[in-house]
Structures are given as C-alpha cells and as structure tokens.
Amino acid sequence: MKGFRLRWTIEGVPELSRILMMEYKKVTDFSTPLKQASKFIMADIEQNFVSEGGLVGGWKPLSASTVAGRLREGYGGQHPILQKTGRLRKSFYSNVSKSKALITSNSPYFPYHQSISPRTKLPRRAMLVLTERTKQNIVQSFNSFLRFK
C-alpha cells in the first residue's frame, strides 16, 4: 500500500501529521475532503468565539483600560472578548484547491492574537486551533473519501 500524508500547520500548535495507509489509486483532486476539513475547522473557530476561547482554556480577560474604553465608546463592558465590532469574528475564510486548504483571516488583528511570539501588552488569544476531535473527523473524512475512489 502507498501512504498518504495529511499535514496541518497552525502557529502555536506543534506541527501535526498523519499517514493514512490506504491505496488511493492516483487520486489528484482532494477538494471534497478538504472542503469538509475546512468546515470542521471553521466550526471550531466559531465555537472558540462563542465560548471566548473555550477550546484553548479560555481567553485572558480584558484589561481594566480596555473595559473603560469600551464603556466610553458605548460598546458595553467585559464581554464578548475580541468581538467589539464583530469584524474579526466575520473575517475568517477558507480557500480550498485540489491539494490544499487554507483557513485564515483577513483581519489585521488576527496574526497578533494568534501568534506565539513573546508579548508585552497584547495577550495571546488564539482563535484558530485544531482539536483532537477535529483531527479525528478530518482523518475519517479522508478515509471515507479514499475508500470509495
């Protein structure tokens, strides 16, 4: 049997890969399972916003100065974190081709919150994560796809 490798790279998460040991008969278009994988990951991003970082143990609470600024601007107090206007939450998208899926955000704030770089002021509030459940669902999608090829 030939091996097929799935690889995920998300900053702040160790690189993950899984080899699927299946005969895949020269499949060249993986867009179907990649679209499914994108949907799983996009659902996790949404869940992370709903739960304010619940998939990563919770986001650090807003600072007192941020809460005061929100109150002055008429946005309310503490919650929801990272959702003052809703633009960041709506900025995520996926781009799928035959061999690759890219899930990212067009928000200029996203890289700063997602980054694992050392920080002095802005706390890390990762939105894009890969849960064990999602990894298993993605592998299952690829297994099902390849089984019927």
User: Which two structure tokens, joined as six digits, stand for 79?
Assistant: 């919650």
- Residue in 119, 56, 103, 51 with CA at minimum distance from that of residue 82: 51
Q: Show the domain range for 124.
A: 3-147
Q: What is the pTM of this model?
A: 0.84
User: Per residue in 26-39, pLDDT tens?
Assistant: 778 889 999 999 99
The total number of structural domains in the chain stands at 1
HSE (side-chain half, CA atoms, 13 Å) at 145? 20
Report how far residue 25's alpha carbon sits from residue 68's, in angstroms, rounded to the nearest whole number.
60
User: Per residue in 98-138, pLDDT tens?
Assistant: 888 889 999 998 998 998 888 888 899 999 988 889 988 98
Report strand pairing: 3-10 vs 101-105.
Answer: unpaired
Q: Which secondary-structure segment (H or E) carries 10?
A: strand 3-10
Report strand pairing: 13-21 vs 3-10.
Answer: antiparallel
